[in-house]
Structure 1
């Protein structure tokens, strides 16, 4: 038996993944346990949880892998600072302490955290190798093209290659400072959202605007070549030498000042969001076309932060040259922990690989499982008043009725998801047929911007009845693609309504709460094989209402990671206007909970970074 631990840490979204004899048995992000969003510290708690799930300790590990090469990254930082000297001194001065204390001494740091029991080898791979491995090895393909796109690893920002059986080979890369991910993040910053967490907001804002700046971006900011490669005009970006992404020159080009965080969103911000989204999609499509021409393969695997842009993924699926596309559910840095572990198993140790037709990600339900005794203790400690419904059909029928009556329900079941999407284990659920549910859940539950779209989870066997699914695509289990709502389910809208956020209130289909302004939705298909517990609930809701879908959004509020434990869930439940909470076999109704629990939960909410 070979036990391999993969680690991503010290930069963004620290995580660990554990693979035993080529099968992933656990993976989790540190933020879920520390309750610090995007926690970059060594993932000590996540590591202990994953080892506990395997009934193992650090001394049982055969290999430990780290998802990038720190010395190569340090080389890039030094060269960048020297190239921009003396302008880069401020950011250089701020970055050096963490490098000198920790990041330059990662082998020592890793062994310190692993403890004295682990005395074997630590393997380092390049950042985009770990992305590529996380994309291909769990995919359902024996052979596929690979595309990885993010902000930056060591030097690479974009790479492509080929995966074949148990080997990956990267053929070409684009290097820093030319980065599609950083281009998108620069506009995230320009529109007043936080880099590395606000990109979702920019993507959600895009359908409200018109891409009237797209040609300006193509003319002045990015040069796209025939082979899909690109170069940025660095005169307009300051991330190489300052602690901000852009400055006054981009403001002058666009003819508008950067929006400051928490200022009211302007119509021009919507147009800027629409423009950079359009350009990003065009670049991804151009890269995919070139890769297809070079490889002649039917299938594509993707990872890296840009691969979480589900709108671009949806367009690539509809218009691109590949028949099949598989995206790593934890496509960002956290997924690098999975990638390096699989890289060690297949490429370093030479173990064979037979692709699983359903994929080898296990529904991405790779985190800790809810524990009945621990859940009960945590809930009672917080004063929860619970109904015990041990018969699953009865519980599901009760929850289905609550949803059908337009109640918002927190839902905690089984293993926690790995990746940024809630997939029916740590979810907040609502009725997608409700005209008011999007605004209610945004403003009263999630405490976030009213324009943010919600995603539907739908029984896989009914997906084609509601959404236009490209030929050859049978499922979207990880909520990583947008599909258009079927024409016969759309409703005409009042075109006299002026541009702006208020358009979110217009009903656009018979599932208005999940239909975005462009008649699209970020769909999760739910099958009995991948997500059996969630499938059971959706089936009961369908039996009751005739609707096979629910709203599914992550179980957290703005500025908070997705909940992990029953205690996390109850605190979030009591701090918001959620109507009910289900943890395992236990149902809690808000109206039955003590006032003291509400007060303590609201105090917790005030401590969160608004993100």
Structure 2
């Protein structure tokens, strides 16, 4: 069963064999184009290779949404808002009339070319609904026999919020909120207004929020969103331009917040920080109210989440702590990429009517579902790059790395299968010592080349998570935020406590300053020996040498670049940045041993800033 998502953003493919998830990957990792929306030819090819199958051996191919319903929504929206939006309508129609209305034919042609087959010989091509794909990706791989399911995103065909109940292989829709009333698009409107890029900058807004005060909450609730006690809502569309326009917000929105949107890459002011704090608080309130209602209506004790809003790990942390559900599970590829997996699972459980057995932990295999490379492939790639390396067996390698990180060296860590979803989870990561006071700024400014305010996440041994954080639960996908334990915090003096905004950035707040955000929280990844034994072994080696069972973990890329996929990608990123050490499989590379690359800053133009 092959699932595909494409043509909006984050194209991806996923494949099942006998109902088991065998492979899944985003097209961006192969094409090296961030959020690549094109037909995922490379991702499909990888999935077929991972399954050991040809396209002709696939039973069904399932696409993650229904383009005709999207076109219906587009037309109805323009008609209802006419005559406003005529420029946007004129811009959109040729694309739809030329390409998107004929997507089924286009997809079949692309598949036929990929499989070197005649169109008529292709497997059956089916189309799921967008939120149905999200719901399937959330429930079917979860560890629960039955659960409530909440999907929150920008918009699918019509739905922006949907509620489901999963039980065995059954996935039953209960109700939805439709476009243009969208929590995801509300958050994206503020992403746009604060100068970040829609569909990729939302996590920056979340990271910026703790620097501000929620002074605009009342303005948002009084003007922009009519929020009911049960969490349902309507937006006042007179403030927004996204329904038919070419921007997210309009001049009335500007007037409410005292000026035009911040220019991208310009200095961030206290106002942007306060706006970020405000919309984050409103978003959390909506999610909590919706969850309470879903719990009351379904009586379920577990909740599954998907859709782009489910990547808001601060809201997820509050859901876990404040209930009302006993347990929650978030699909690690919660955005549109995960729709490919949901589509494949729908093909198996709904179209094929195959039974589902819940897997303890979950069925995602740690989300390590992408390509991996053996010693021979790694050595070939490193030799082709004229790299200088040593090959070390695991015990020596782990001990050596632990010592290097104890010396505040920054390590590129490339191991096993690539992660599926937006987070690096110890397969394609940049790692370092969380006790280092300089690590956060070094990683941001000299390695990632990104904004200084952005926080880094801790990877922590699952068996020691409660020694460092106010939680004792699994968070293998870095989708839960919790506070650093109070006994690890550093008491701030009176002058330090008076600081506001970005001035808070460089204060040492805990014994683990590199992963402690300005509100004393951290976005936690618990590392499990069963799903990532090598990363777990490295953490154990670091703990043995330092007493610390935590590492800093960020994705192996620079700003605007997709996470690295191949050993060649890893070496290139290593040499272009100020990373000190690279480990690819069992091969150890020190920057000081490499032939220096000519200083050519032009490569930074290769990737569009996210």
Taking structure 2 as the reference length, the TM-score comes to 0.97
Out of 215, 219, 226, the position equivalent to 1:216 is 219
CA distance in 2, matches of 1:32, 1:119: 26
Kindly state the Cα deviation for residue 170 of structure 1 after the two structures are TM-superposed. 1.1
**Deviation beyond 3 Å, 4+ runs, structure 1:** none
Aligned to 1:449: 451
Equivalent residues in 2 for 1:289-438 (5 A)?
289-389=292-392, 391-438=393-440
Q: Secondary structure at the match of 1:416?
A: coil
Aligned to 1:519: 520
CA contact (8 A) 2:56 2:123 kept: no
Matched, 1:585 2:582: no
Equivalent residues in 2 for 1:556-571 (5 A)?
556-571=557-572
Matched, 1:483 2:482: yes
Q: Secondary structure at the match of 1:368?
A: coil
CA distance in 1, matches of 2:174, 2:253: 34
Equivalent residues in 2 for 1:68-107 (5 A)?
68-107=65-104
Kindly state the Cα deviation for residue 599 of structure 1 after the two structures are TM-superposed. 4.1
CA distance in 2, matches of 1:206, 1:256: 19
Aligned to 2:465: 463
CA distance in 2, matches of 1:96, 1:413: 45
CA contact (8 A) 2:162 2:176 kept: yes
Q: Secondary structure at the match of 2:192?
A: helix
Matched, 1:196 2:199: yes
CA distance in 1, matches of 2:299, 2:201: 36
Q: Secondary structure at the match of 1:581?
A: strand
CA distance in 1, matches of 2:380, 2:89: 48
CA distance in 1, matches of 2:24, 2:361: 19
CA distance in 2, matches of 1:145, 1:107: 32
CA contact (8 A) 1:205 1:451 kept: yes
CA distance in 2, matches of 1:199, 1:270: 13
Kindly state the Cα deviation for residue 19 of structure 1 after the two structures are TM-superposed. 0.4
CA contact (8 A) 2:459 2:552 kept: yes
Deviations 1:210-235 (A, max 9, x none): 00100110111101112221000101
CA contact (8 A) 1:575 1:605 kept: no
Kindly state the Cα deviation for residue 100 of structure 1 after the two structures are TM-superposed. 2.4
State the superposition RMSD in angstroms.
1.2
Kindly state the Cα deviation for residue 384 of structure 1 after the two structures are TM-superposed. 1.2
Kindly state the Cα deviation for residue 83 of structure 1 after the two structures are TM-superposed. 1.9
Out of 246, 252, 258, the position equivalent to 1:255 is 258
CA distance in 1, matches of 2:290, 2:501: 33
CA distance in 2, matches of 1:494, 1:155: 52
CA distance in 2, matches of 1:541, 1:276: 39
CA distance in 2, matches of 1:226, 1:503: 35
CA distance in 2, matches of 1:578, 1:107: 45
CA distance in 2, matches of 1:120, 1:192: 45
Aligned to 1:552: 553
Aligned to 2:58: 61
Q: Secondary structure at the match of 1:415?
A: coil
CA distance in 2, matches of 1:562, 1:581: 15
CA distance in 2, matches of 1:512, 1:354: 42
Q: Which is worse superposed, 399-408 or 274-283?
A: 399-408
CA distance in 1, matches of 2:286, 2:323: 12
Kindly state the Cα deviation for residue 581 of structure 1 after the two structures are TM-superposed. 0.5
Aligned to 1:245: 248
CA distance in 2, matches of 1:232, 1:463: 40
